[in-house]
Chains A and B, each alone.
Chain A
Amino acid sequence: MTTGFSPDGSSIRTAGRRTLLLQGIAVVLTAILILLFVDLSRRYRLLEDGIRENALWSVYQLDRETRALDFQLGLMVQSNAVDKDVLKKLALRYNILYSRIKVLQDSRFESSFRQDPGVQRQMKQVQDQVLAYAPLFDRIDEGYVPRTEELQALLQQVDLLMQNTGDFLIRANNYISTSRADNRDMIIRLESTTAAFLSLLLGSVVYLVVSLRRQLKSVREASRNFELMAEEISEAYKAADAGNRAKSQFMATMGHEIRTPLNAILGTAELLELANLPEDSTNLVRTIHSSGEALLEIINEILDYSKIENGKMELELRSIDLRSLATKTAEIIRGRAGEQGNKLILDIPERLPVPLVRTDPTRLRQVLLNLLSNAVKFTHKGRVTLRLRQFHREGVLHLRFEVEDTGIGIDPAGLAKLFQPFTQVDASISRKYGGTGLGLTICKQIVEKLGGELGVRSEPGQGSLFWMEVPAEAAEMETDAALSMPAADPEAPLTRSNILLVEDNLVNQQVATRFLDRLGQTVTIANNGIEAVAIARAKPFDIILMDMQMPEMDGIEATRRIRAEVVNPAPIIAMTANASDEDRRRCLEAGMVGFESKPITLKRLQAVLAAHLAPARPVHAEANGEAALPSAETRNQEEPEVTFDTARRDELVEVLGEDVYQELVETFFTDAVEIMESLHKAMASEDAILIDRSLHTLKGAAVNIGLNDVADLANSMRDHTPTIAGIESLMDKINAHKRQLVA
């Protein structure tokens, strides 16, 4: 079923770690980016700082103006022409030179230009020299005409100044070149740093993208895997569920299939016990009976277990009398206890604090029965005590039942696996005592379902004490008329009533018919739901016993139809091998008044009838069948020829005994009258379906007791609509047989 992959948790975890790493990288990158930005903006501000006057240009201008002054001065000294105009020009040149000095002084140059010691020194020197001429030129401005010697001296000084400004220019140029080179280096460094950061950033981004892709891929893979897994799980679940359902269905079917023949076996055995058989045969029959009951118990346990396992066990809470429940349960087991030489003791307080409680009596009884039968089974010539106490825990009423025995006890290893399904304390137990090993498991599940606890205390050789504590509500007694029996005396003789038995299984029909005959009832048989509806419409009955599972129309549908179509219908009681809670509910919903699990016993049947039949009903059934016969007889003057299947009779006599066969035959004739009546009615109302069904029923019934000619005739009449004459001849044939067979 699995495809061999494992949901890739490791890859997701790796991806998760990678994400963490990426987050770290992102933080680092962000920090680096911030640093880069700060650095860039700092550099930018430096660049902005660079928006200054050009130092080299200023120094050059200084040198140039010095040369212009020198040239002008030289011209004057050479020509020796000192007039006002020439002096004015000279003064202008000086003033311009002066202004250049001021510019050098005040202007903002590249930040460190003025800080350079060489620059500082030379600038100071030049400045001092230029300013030294100022007094002379101030006087010239005021109209003073300098002498030639003065001018020559000045020329010499300006020549010197010119040398200095030239040197200053070279120095400034060197300085600027150096600082430009430095700047370029710095810019290159900055560029490489930026490049490094950028490549780091790029690398990180690439890694991020790759990681994200990988992560996405693994997430996608994981989700695909999860989808696959979910699909597989759902398929596996479906398969398991289907398997489980198939198993449950199988168990239910098997239970039904086994119970149906078992029903027949038990019924037959019971009938046989009633027959006057020799002593040893009676014992054999009793063995068959008890073995059958044991088998039934096992089947019920398995069905219960499968029900519990499928969570289909439902509780039916009813108000019950605790004392009565305990007493009745103990009574069931008392016989078996006696067989084992055990004394069964009931320990119930004289006055129970809360005598009536609300719980599921069926389940409670089941658990108690199981515990008691275990106790009885494993104890010889000892005591088995059923104890009942009540107490309150956290304000809730609790029932505590104890089943104590003085039997063989259980060792600790056995206690450990006591409540596990299909296990018994050891293999020798199952050989010696039998059982499915399911009983206690079921008990535990039931008790837990009831909200209680089941426990045990035991020592080998000292006996065991099983206890259960279940919560319960105090209750008022309610009359649960729907499915429980009214208090009628089941032993009282029943009045003769008309009973419709709806049952598809021939053997079950016979068994039930025998039981009912023995109880002095008049029985009409319907082979399926359709027949049941038709017959119930044709004739009034006192009670209808309805099988649940039948071909053509099941008991539920038949019940609905009868209740819908028949005026004043008889109470309908379900009889089924399918004893589930669901079935019970469906029966009730369909309008049934009772519910009996198959196989039904004679005693049980008597109790059911006693509960639902009015005891004071006048006896009228006696006249029903037999009074009709003479009238038929008088109409037939000639005795028709009859054939009879003696082989069939011999077979039946061999199986059922002469008495029972005789009863069967009598019942046939009683029923035949009814069938013929309904046939007449059907002819009158031209109800083709009812005609056919009546003929079919008659045929089946006739074959059953060996009246093959009646069967053949009835069957041949089904081919086309029968005539009144045809029916009359059929009636004649039946009456002829009756005269021969019924003395």
Chain B
Amino acid sequence: MKAFILALMASAALIGGPAFALDKPTGEPVLTVKGAVSETNDGANAVFDMKMLEALPGRTAKMETPWTEGEVEFSGPLLREILKAAGAKGKTLKVIALNDYSADVPMEDADTLDTMLASKMNGTEMSVRDKGPLMLVYPFDLDKGLYNEKYFSRSVWQIKEIEVLP
């Protein structure tokens, strides 16, 4: 039902009606997008709970990563959809993990690559013990050229925040 309303709102936004601010998260917030964002719901930030994220267009893909055994299936919203929802405008994304590990990701990685914030591995939600709740997954299945240390270091897991830098 909620999804239906969200979909209605999304279509209303597409039709060109007045832009609605981002809804308040109903569940436990999992991701905060701060910095240069225009669609906010928590002060200057855009906060998402898992339901909001799952409602965004995403992708499901099977691939190998250096941190998992064998081929695993990741699924979750596309990074660019999240940024769009947050109205992010910037050049660099600072992706911050629970343990305060952070990596700078250029905006192009979100725009040109099907980068997703995976919330599920092999169909189950990812716990903190298992690199959850969100993990930045590059499309290694689509582009073998991404399979190197440069993108490994950008592949942040246990993500809690994204700061959009101008």
* A51-B147, A68-B99 known; A99-B152 Cβ under 8 A: no
* A65-B99, A96-B99 known; A103-B67 Cβ under 8 A: yes
Instruction: Give chain A nearest CB distance to B49 CB in angstroms.
Output: 17
User: Is A107 in the interface zone, CB < 8 Å from B?
Assistant: yes
Cβ-defined contact, B66 with A96, below 8 A: no
User: Is B143 in the interface zone, CB < 8 Å from A?
Assistant: no
* A92-B128, A96-B98 known; A52-B158 Cβ under 8 A: no
Tally of contact residues, A, Cβ under 8 A = 18
User: Is A106 in the interface zone, CB < 8 Å from B?
Assistant: yes
Chain A minimum-CB-distance residue to B152: A53
A-B contact pairs, 11 of them (CB 8 A): A53-B67, A53-B152, A65-B99, A68-B99, A92-B98, A92-B128, A95-B129, A98-B128, A99-B128, A99-B131, A103-B67
Cβ-defined contact, B67 with A95, below 8 A: no
* A51-B148, A65-B99, A92-B98 known; A99-B66 Cβ under 8 A: no
List chain B residues, Cβ under 8 A from A92: 98, 128
Cβ-defined contact, B66 with A53, below 8 A: yes
List chain A residues, Cβ under 8 A from B128: 92, 95-96, 98-99
Instruction: Give chain A nearest CB distance to B149 CB in angstroms.
Output: 7
Chain B contacts with A in 108-142, Cβ cutoff 8 A: 127-131
List chain A residues, Cβ under 8 A from B68: 106
* A96-B99, A96-B158 known; A102-B130 Cβ under 8 A: yes
Cβ-defined contact, B66 with A52, below 8 A: yes
Range, interface on chain B = 10 to 19
Chain A contacts with B in 701-736, Cβ cutoff 8 A: none
List chain B residues, Cβ under 8 A from A103: 67, 131
* A65-B99, A106-B67, A108-B66 known; A99-B148 Cβ under 8 A: no
Chain B contacts with A in 144-163, Cβ cutoff 8 A: 147-149, 152, 157-158
Instruction: Give chain A nearest CB distance to B156 CB in angstroms.
Output: 13
List chain B residues, Cβ under 8 A from A95: 127-129
Report which of A96, A98, A107 forms a contact with B67, defined as CB distance below 8 A.
Answer: A107
How far does the alpha carbon of A52 sit from the alpha carbon of B68 in the complex, in Å? 11
How far does the alpha carbon of A65 sit from the alpha carbon of B100 in the complex, in Å? 11
Instruction: Give chain B nearest CB distance to A7 CB in angstroms.
Output: 65
How far does the alpha carbon of A99 sit from the alpha carbon of B129 in the complex, in Å? 4
List chain A residues, Cβ under 8 A from B69: 106
How far does the alpha carbon of A95 sit from the alpha carbon of B129 in the complex, in Å? 5
- Contact mask for chain A residues 595-632; partner B; CB cutoff 8 A; 1 contact, 0 none: 00000000000000000000000000000000000000
Instruction: Give chain B nearest CB distance to A133 CB in angstroms.
Output: 12
Instruction: Give chain B nearest CB distance to A734 CB in angstroms.
Output: 132
Chain B contacts with A in 48-89, Cβ cutoff 8 A: 66-69
Chain B minimum-CB-distance residue to A134: B129
List chain A residues, Cβ under 8 A from B131: 99, 102-103
Q: Is the interface of B mostly helix, strand, loop or mixed?
A: loop
Instruction: Give chain B nearest CB distance to A180 CB in angstroms.
Output: 16
List chain A residues, Cβ under 8 A from B101: 61
List chain B residues, Cβ under 8 A from A107: 66-67
Chain B minimum-CB-distance residue to A101: B129
How far does the alpha carbon of A576 sit from the alpha carbon of B69 in the complex, in Å? 121
Instruction: Give chain B nearest CB distance to A101 CB in angstroms.
Output: 9
How far does the alpha carbon of A543 sit from the alpha carbon of B80 in the complex, in Å? 132
List chain B residues, Cβ under 8 A from A106: 67-69
How far does the alpha carbon of A61 sit from the alpha carbon of B98 in the complex, in Å? 13
How far does the alpha carbon of A103 sit from the alpha carbon of B99 in the complex, in Å? 14
List chain B residues, Cβ under 8 A from A68: 99
Chain A minimum-CB-distance residue to B101: A61
Instruction: Give chain A nearest CB distance to B104 CB in angstroms.
Output: 17
Instruction: Give chain A nearest CB distance to B96 CB in angstroms.
Output: 13
Known: A61-B99, A96-B128. 7 other contacts (CB 8 A): A52-B66, A53-B67, A96-B99, A99-B130, A102-B131, A103-B67, A108-B66
How far does the alpha carbon of A51 sit from the alpha carbon of B155 in the complex, in Å? 14
List chain A residues, Cβ under 8 A from B157: 99
Chain B minimum-CB-distance residue to A50: B149
Instruction: Give chain B nearest CB distance to A142 CB in angstroms.
Output: 14
How far does the alpha carbon of A45 sit from the alpha carbon of B23 in the complex, in Å? 50
List chain B residues, Cβ under 8 A from A53: 66-67, 152
How far does the alpha carbon of A106 sit from the alpha carbon of B130 in the complex, in Å? 11
Chain A contacts with B in 23-53, Cβ cutoff 8 A: 51-53
Cβ-defined contact, A51 with B149, below 8 A: yes
How far does the alpha carbon of A51 sit from the alpha carbon of B152 in the complex, in Å? 9
- Contact mask for chain A residues 48-88; partner B; CB cutoff 8 A; 1 contact, 0 none: 00011110000001001100100000000000000000000
List chain B residues, Cβ under 8 A from A51: 66, 147-149, 152
Instruction: Give chain A nearest CB distance to B150 CB in angstroms.
Output: 10
The 5 closest A-B pairs by CB, nearest first: A95-B128, A98-B129, A53-B66, A107-B67, A108-B66
Instruction: Give chain B nearest CB distance to A232 CB in angstroms.
Output: 73
How far does the alpha carbon of A68 sit from the alpha carbon of B101 in the complex, in Å? 13
How far does the alpha carbon of A103 sit from the alpha carbon of B101 in the complex, in Å? 15
Instruction: Give chain A nearest CB distance to B131 CB in angstroms.
Output: 6
List chain A residues, Cβ under 8 A from B98: 92, 96
Chain A minimum-CB-distance residue to B147: A51
Chain B minimum-CB-distance residue to A91: B128
How far does the alpha carbon of A92 sit from the alpha carbon of B66 in the complex, in Å? 24
How far does the alpha carbon of A375 sit from the alpha carbon of B130 in the complex, in Å? 132
Instruction: Give chain A nearest CB distance to B68 CB in angstroms.
Output: 6
Cβ-defined contact, A102 with B66, below 8 A: no
Chain B minimum-CB-distance residue to A105: B69
List chain A residues, Cβ under 8 A from B66: 51-53, 107-108
Instruction: Give chain B nearest CB distance to A344 CB in angstroms.
Output: 116
Instruction: Give chain A nearest CB distance to B64 CB in angstroms.
Output: 9
List chain B residues, Cβ under 8 A from A65: 99
* A96-B158, A107-B66 known; A102-B149 Cβ under 8 A: no
List chain A residues, Cβ under 8 A from B148: 51
List chain A residues, Cβ under 8 A from B99: 61, 64-65, 68, 96
Name, among B67, B98, B127, B147, the residue most crowded by chain A CB atoms within 10 Å (CB to CB).
B67
Chain B minimum-CB-distance residue to A54: B149
- Contact mask for chain A residues 159-199; partner B; CB cutoff 8 A; 1 contact, 0 none: 00000000000000000000000000000000000000000
Chain B minimum-CB-distance residue to A104: B67
Instruction: Give chain A nearest CB distance to B157 CB in angstroms.
Output: 8
Instruction: Give chain B nearest CB distance to A576 CB in angstroms.
Output: 106
Instruction: Give chain B nearest CB distance to A487 CB in angstroms.
Output: 115
Chain A minimum-CB-distance residue to B68: A106
How far does the alpha carbon of A53 sit from the alpha carbon of B147 in the complex, in Å? 11
Chain A minimum-CB-distance residue to B67: A107
How far does the alpha carbon of A61 sit from the alpha carbon of B156 in the complex, in Å? 14
How far does the alpha carbon of A108 sit from the alpha carbon of B66 in the complex, in Å? 5
List chain A residues, Cβ under 8 A from B127: 95
Instruction: Give chain A nearest CB distance to B87 CB in angstroms.
Output: 29
How far does the alpha carbon of A106 sit from the alpha carbon of B157 in the complex, in Å? 15
How far does the alpha carbon of A61 sit from the alpha carbon of B158 in the complex, in Å? 14
Report which of A54, A64, A99, A108 forms a contact with B158, defined as CB distance below 8 A.
Answer: A99
How far does the alpha carbon of A123 sit from the alpha carbon of B148 in the complex, in Å? 26
List chain A residues, Cβ under 8 A from B147: 51
Chain B minimum-CB-distance residue to A99: B129
Name, among A65, A96, A98, A107, the residue most crowded by chain B CB atoms within 10 Å (CB to CB).
A96
How far does the alpha carbon of A99 sit from the alpha carbon of B99 in the complex, in Å? 11
List chain B residues, Cβ under 8 A from A108: 66
List chain A residues, Cβ under 8 A from B152: 51, 53
How far does the alpha carbon of A345 sit from the alpha carbon of B144 in the complex, in Å? 117
Instruction: Give chain B nearest CB distance to A45 CB in angstroms.
Output: 14
List chain A residues, Cβ under 8 A from B67: 53, 103, 106-107
How far does the alpha carbon of A108 sit from the alpha carbon of B65 in the complex, in Å? 9
How far does the alpha carbon of A615 sit from the alpha carbon of B131 in the complex, in Å? 147
Chain A contacts with B in 86-129, Cβ cutoff 8 A: 92, 95-96, 98-99, 102-103, 106-108
How far does the alpha carbon of A51 sit from the alpha carbon of B147 in the complex, in Å? 8
How far does the alpha carbon of A52 sit from the alpha carbon of B152 in the complex, in Å? 9
Chain B minimum-CB-distance residue to A58: B67
Instruction: Give chain B nearest CB distance to A353 CB in angstroms.
Output: 103
How far does the alpha carbon of A92 sit from the alpha carbon of B127 in the complex, in Å? 11
Instruction: Give chain B nearest CB distance to A64 CB in angstroms.
Output: 8
